[in-house]
Chains A and B, each alone.
Chain A
């Protein structure tokens, strides 16, 4: 029997870690789960299956919370979102069943390694974000007509009604299947991949991609969670503490995001992501005995890697993004 103080302390510890994850997830736009799993596994020692289960549950709460607001603003394209959910939910089922095989064969290291790679790869699009606000229109194809992929929304920043249409629905579906697979495999919303599918493949404006992706994440995560539930990857105490914490963090993050005027701050968030990604990768290789170095050395290696990557990315995208802003200003002014 533990004392009341100890019980409270365990709860607060998970809660604080989750608030941090929710905050960082919302400020980078990657979602709470992507930050939550590394924090829970690396720093609190929670088994990765429970961490992934808790992350998937928290993803439902943040997605549904945010989606209710976005539907009101009418930026989310519900048709495009629902159409692509066929692929994300199917992918999520395949991903959850794959991870069931991985866990039952004690191959946890694969999840760590894939997680690390996914975080590291999502840093680049996040660093580029803000560059292509409205894409150059591509000629509509047959899927635009059949699946009614057109829409419009009022852009507050540009002060005008933006009309858009999506193309290459089939390519969007293909990428969404993969996004769903990763979501089921790692227990995250994989919002970055969903945005890639809509922004790059279907040529939709960034604002439509991000809000529609958020709308889809809840349904994808509910699919994965149901299978996780049956497999026993959801530990009620951990999952409830993280769902509450991530929601608090995400709500605070949204409020902070509106107030941040200095865009350069996001480089600090990206640096934390780079560190977590590298650390997950190294931990995976360590668990597989491919790279046996002490934990302290792992942290040092991750730190060195982070510094190098951030310097490279800042010179590649940080300075360039400024130029684009200046050029844009010229065009519209």
Chain B
């Protein structure tokens, strides 16, 4: 019998995040190997070790659009995004968890960590882009 407390939920969220992202990457990898192309790039340009096909040339929106065409590269990129989002979700759940315990010092601490993550994901790329 499991206790559905916050620790259990957090552990579960982490596990689901990792499993989903790995499954997406395995599907993507398999499609890419079979089809030999992804998002308009040839297999050589995607797979060569000095490939120029990295995260700067593929906007996330373009990647997500490829999902409906069973594009391997799209699945891989979605998998990578889910993987990065997993710890972010973990921190967000941490804020809720400390709030439920009414531990306000740790609510503030966890919010600071969350702000740092948001800085890295949204603010710094926007600033570097200027």
Chain A residue numbers with a CB within 8 Å of B49 are 44-47, 50, 238
How far is it, in angstroms, between the C-alpha of A65 and the C-alpha of B16 when the chains are bound? 9
Chain B residue numbers with a CB within 8 Å of A150 are none
Does B11 have its Cβ within 8 Å of any Cβ on chain A? yes
Chain A residue numbers with a CB within 8 Å of B125 are 226-227, 229-230
A72 pairs with B54, CB closer than 8 A: no
Does A205 have its Cβ within 8 Å of any Cβ on chain B? no
**Which residue of the partner chain, among B46, B53, B117, contacts A219 with CB atoms under 8 Å?**
B117
**Which residue of the partner chain, among B44, B55, B105, contacts A229 with CB atoms under 8 Å?**
B55
A17-47: contact bitstring with B at CB < 8 Å (1 yes, 0 no)? 0000000000000000000000000001111
Does B100 have its Cβ within 8 Å of any Cβ on chain A? no
Does B99 have its Cβ within 8 Å of any Cβ on chain A? no
Q: How many Å from the CB of B65 to the closest CB on chain A?
A: 15
Chain B residue numbers with a CB within 8 Å of A61 are 18, 21-22, 83
Does B67 have its Cβ within 8 Å of any Cβ on chain A? no
How far is it, in angstroms, between the C-alpha of A82 and the C-alpha of B36 when the chains are bound? 43
Chain A residue numbers with a CB within 8 Å of B68 are none
**Which residue of the partner chain, among A46, A86, A234, A243, contacts B25 with CB atoms under 8 Å?**
A243
B18 pairs with A223, CB closer than 8 A: no
Chain B residue numbers with a CB within 8 Å of A223 are 116-117, 120
B116 pairs with A90, CB closer than 8 A: yes
B116 pairs with A86, CB closer than 8 A: yes
**Interface majority SS on B: helix, strand, loop or mixed?**
helix
A2 pairs with B83, CB closer than 8 A: no
B55-84: contact bitstring with A at CB < 8 Å (1 yes, 0 no)? 111100000000000000100110110011
Does A60 have its Cβ within 8 Å of any Cβ on chain B? yes
Does B34 have its Cβ within 8 Å of any Cβ on chain A? yes
Chain B residue numbers with a CB within 8 Å of A67 are 11, 14
Within 43-90 of A, Cβ neighbours of B (below 8 Å) are at: 44-47, 50, 53, 57, 60-61, 63-65, 67-69, 71-72, 74, 78-79, 82-83, 85-86, 89-90
Q: How many Å from the CB of A177 to the closest CB on chain B?
A: 12
Does A203 have its Cβ within 8 Å of any Cβ on chain B? no
B43 pairs with A1, CB closer than 8 A: yes
B18 pairs with A65, CB closer than 8 A: yes
B1-40: contact bitstring with A at CB < 8 Å (1 yes, 0 no)? 0000001101110110110011001101100111010000
B92-130: contact bitstring with A at CB < 8 Å (1 yes, 0 no)? 001000100001011001101100110111001100100
Does A233 have its Cβ within 8 Å of any Cβ on chain B? yes
How far is it, in angstroms, between the C-alpha of A50 and the C-alpha of B55 when the chains are bound? 11
Chain A residue numbers with a CB within 8 Å of B57 are 232
Chain B residue numbers with a CB within 8 Å of A4 are 33-34, 36
Chain B residue numbers with a CB within 8 Å of A69 are 11
**Which residue of the partner chain, among A7, A71, A147, A228, contacts B33 with CB atoms under 8 Å?**
A7
Chain B residue numbers with a CB within 8 Å of A92 are 120
Chain B residue numbers with a CB within 8 Å of A232 are 54-57
Q: How many Å from the CB of A85 to the closest CB on chain B?
A: 5
Chain A residue numbers with a CB within 8 Å of B10 are 71
How far is it, in angstroms, between the C-alpha of A191 and the C-alpha of B10 when the chains are bound? 21
A237 pairs with B7, CB closer than 8 A: no
How far is it, in angstroms, between the C-alpha of A85 and the C-alpha of B114 when the chains are bound? 10
Q: How many Å from the CB of B44 to the closest CB on chain A?
A: 6
Chain A residue numbers with a CB within 8 Å of B109 are 82-83, 86
B120 pairs with A89, CB closer than 8 A: yes
Interface centre among A1, A64, A82, A218 (most CB of B within 10 A): A64
Given contacts A64-B90, A82-B98, 8 further A-B contacts (CB under 8 A): A53-B54, A64-B86, A148-B103, A222-B84, A226-B84, A237-B29, A237-B76, A243-B80
Could you write out 22 A-B pairs with CB less than 8 Å apart?
A1-B43, A60-B87, A63-B87, A64-B90, A72-B7, A72-B8, A74-B7, A82-B98, A86-B109, A86-B113, A97-B124, A146-B105, A148-B103, A219-B87, A222-B87, A222-B88, A226-B120, A235-B54, A235-B55, A236-B80, A240-B25, A240-B28
Closest 3 CB pairs of A and B: A232-B56, A230-B125, A89-B116
